[in-house]
Amino acid sequence: MGNCMRALPRATASPRFTSDVKRAIRAAEAPRRPALTWRIAAAFAMAACLIAVIQIGSMQHERRKMQALRVEQQKIQAELAAVKEPVVVLENDKGDRVIMDLNSASVQPASLKTYD
């Protein structure tokens, strides 16, 4: 049987078949690069995400700042509410300062009479 097989004419592939097979092998081996439009779209998406993260961070920073200002304002209002006594501060140009509590000081009201 081996002699009979050797006696048959050899079959050769056409040049086009050979080139098609080689091209298919090269295409399977070569890594495919993504299209340029997908790369650009990915870059824009990353830039948009980065901008969104920065914007959210700055908004949170502003909220914290406003919250701190609100707390400080409430604290000052509470301190002002705690001061129930009327107080007068007198100061001259030399830097001498006198603080008077009007409830405990013996202050006489000014006379409405005029002495002409």
| Alpha-carbon gap, residue 104 to 84, rounded angstroms | 13
Residue 19 falls inside a structural domain? no
What pLDDT, on the 0 to 100 scale, is given for residue 72?
A: 96
The pTM score is 0.42
What pLDDT, on the 0 to 100 scale, is given for residue 69?
A: 96
Residue 109 falls inside a structural domain? no
Residue 91 falls inside a structural domain? yes
| Alpha-carbon gap, residue 38 to 9, rounded angstroms | 52
| Alpha-carbon gap, residue 80 to 82, rounded angstroms | 5
Angle at 71 between CA 83 and CA 82, to 5 degrees: 10
- The DSSP 8-state label assigned to residue 93 in this structure reads T
Domains: count for the chain: 1
Give me the average pLDDT of each 10-residue run along the chain (116 residues): 80 83 81 79 96 97 96 91 74 83 65 60
